[in-house]
Structure formats: C-alpha cells, structure tokens
Amino acid sequence: MPEVAQQHQLQILVDALYEKHRGTTDGELATYIPELAKVNPQDFGICVVTAGGDVFEAGDCDRPFTIQSISKAFTYGLAMDEFGADKVLCHVGVEPSGDAFNAIELHSGTNRPYNPMINSGAITITALLHSRYGDQTFERVLECFSTIAGRELSIDKNVYESERRTGHRNRAIAHLLLNFGVVHEEAEAALDVYFKQCSILITTRDLAMMAATLANMGCHPVTGRSAFSIAYVKDILSIMFTCGMYDYSGQWAYRVGVPAKSGVSGGVMAVVNRQLGIGTYSPRLDRFGNSVRGTEVCIDLASRLGLHVFDCVNVGSNFLDAIL
Ligand code: DON
C-alpha cells in the first residue's frame, strides 16, 4: 500500500475555516475610493505563516489587492527606527481616539493626532519620513515594505490616482496638521506619499508573511532580513492591539486577543507574538470598516488554537520561571 502523506493540522484547520466562511456574503465594498469598488466581492484568501516560515493557505492567496491602512503599522516602524520613540511621540500619541479613522480632529490638549493607526496620525508619520527623505520617501517606504514581505512590491497606479483625485478629506486633515505645525510645509507632497503607500499591492500570502515578520521580531522568516530594529516591534504591536481595528478594537482585543490591523480594501493582518503571522483577504466590510470574513476567521483561529494573549493555554513568561 502506498503511504498517504498526512496533512498538517494547521492546513486542515485553514481549509476548514475557508469552507466554513466562503459562502458568507455579509458586508459592503468600500466605495469612497472609486477604484476599490471594482474588485470581485467574492475573493477570499486565508494564509497563516509560522515564525519559522512554514505556509498554510486556502483560497485566493495570490490575488493582489492594495494594502491601504495596514501600511500604517509599517511606516510607523520605519519612522520609529529613523527618529526614535521620543521624537515620534512628540508628533503622534498612542491613545485610541474613539472616533472614525478619517476624523478631522486632533487631541484637544496637545494638538497631536491620537495615534498612528488613524489617518491624521499616519499622515503625520509619513510627513516625518518626508522631512528626512524628501523626493526619495516613497522609494524608501517601498523598499522597507518589500523587505518585510520578502519580495519586491509595486503600486496599483489606478488606485493611487483614484485616491489622489478624491481624497479631499485627507487633504483637509493634512492642512489641519499644517495649521498646528504638526507637519512640515510640504504637507501636500507628504500626502502624495501617503496615497502611494496605501496603494502598494500585496497578496494574502504577502500579508501573512509581513505579519510573520512582526511575529518574528522584525526579521523575515525566510530571507532573514530585518526592516527595522527589534526594539520597535513591541511598540508597533502595542498600538495595533489597542487601535488597529478601528472602533472594533476593544471587541477585537476581547474576542481575538492578538494585535491586528485592517484596511478598507479588505485585508486583515494579525500577529501572534513569536509564533504566527495571519493574513486574510475578503473585501466586504462590516460597519466598522473591517473585513467581515477576515474578522470571523480570526475569531475562529484564536478560539481553535488558543491564541488570545490571556488564554489559559498561554502560560506566560519563561523568564519568570527561570528566576522564581
Ligand atoms: O486614507 C484612506 O482613506 C485610505 N487610503 C486608507 C483607509 C484605510 O484603510 C482605513 N484605515 N484605517
């Protein structure tokens, strides 16, 4: 009898979750960037990558989509690496805002954006990078994202043009930031870089690899290359944990319990510290702006694998075991 290779437990689970959720049609496509409304609403991919680089996936994991707000986690890491935490904190706080991601508001006491995962904070971070790299800023961002993904990425010019043409709200935010001196004079040029960074094309597999790079302390699990210092991974993950899923962040922390970031094109990236990167793509969004199927898959993965940071199967720090 020929030996039948046994499927890995994680592959069996990923396949089962794909089958469980593939029929869900709840949610709506984002349409405020006209080009985003042209995607196939049925597209659905789930990919899990271990911190050692093993890949488990199901569905449309090669389908390209734009990274959108998930980019904010990585530009924040790049800015922390470039300027250090003290300077970055002078420009952008770390508090959840309790308001929409595109709110035209700043913290009333400090006139700073609340955090880097909302548009005002992310535009400020990109402006900081622009103050250092000038015309080379987007190239620097693209190079950094490519290192994190482990392959050369590029942008979707149609989505970029579409957002540039219609991004009046972001333009208002950039000018509010300029008014309070939070960003430098070239706010328009920085905003253009922000539109481009949101238009970088990735696949579900890229997204899971990028998450695995964060899970692996900033070092890509396959190439071994680092995009930013290990010291800032903790900061990025903390802000993803508290602010990464819009106004659903509290419920996400309660139900899933791992740091995550979503984007309006339908991507969700979740990070299980030192263990796994999770990437999902499904463009129909719930009322918070998060992918419906992406959220459901992450809830299921967390409960099936005991991923929640406070789950009873997470036994805590080996360091304490060693010293007590
Ligand atoms: O700024 C925008 O509206 C988009 N480029 C990104 C939006 C997005 O994914 C929302 N995230 N928080």
Active site residue 264: yes
The active-site residue, picked from 114, 232, 246, 281, is: 246
Instruction: Please name the residue that has the structure tokens 């995962």.
Output: 117
- Rounded CA-CA distance 24/42 in Å is 9
Residues 274-280: what's their mean pLDDT? Answer: 96
If you average pLDDT over residues 17-31, what whole number do you get?
A: 97
Lowest mean pLDDT of 3-17, 29-43, 222-236, name the range.
3-17
Position 317 pLDDT exceeds 90: no
What's the CA-to-centroid distance between 221 and ligand 1, angstroms? 28
Q: Are 14 and 58 in contact (CB under 8 A)?
A: yes
- Pocket test residue of 71, 99, 164, 198 for ligand 1, highest count of atoms within 8 A of CB: 198
Mutation test residue for ligand 1: of 29, 35, 68, 74, the one with most atoms within 8 Å of CB: 68
Question: What are residue 104's phi and psi, to 5 degrees?
Answer: -95, 80
Question: Distance from the CA of 101 to the center of ligand 1, in angstroms?
Answer: 7
Closest protein CA for atom 8 of ligand 1: 69
Residue among 183, 193, 256, 264 flagged as catalytic = 264
pLDDT of residue 206 exceeding 80, the answer is: yes
The residues, ordered by sequence, that sit 6+ positions from 182 with a Cβ below 8 Å of its Cβ are 91, 106, 111, 112, 113, 124, 127
Report pLDDT for 2: 67
> Nearest residue CA, atom 11 of ligand 1?
69
Q: What is the pLDDT of residue 1?
A: 63
- Per-residue pLDDT, averaged over 84-90, amounts to 97
Answer whether 65's CB lies under 8 Å from 39's CB. Answer: yes
CB-count burial class (<10 Å; 0-12, 13-18, 19+) for 193: buried
Q: How far apart are CA 310 and CA 189, in angstroms?
A: 43
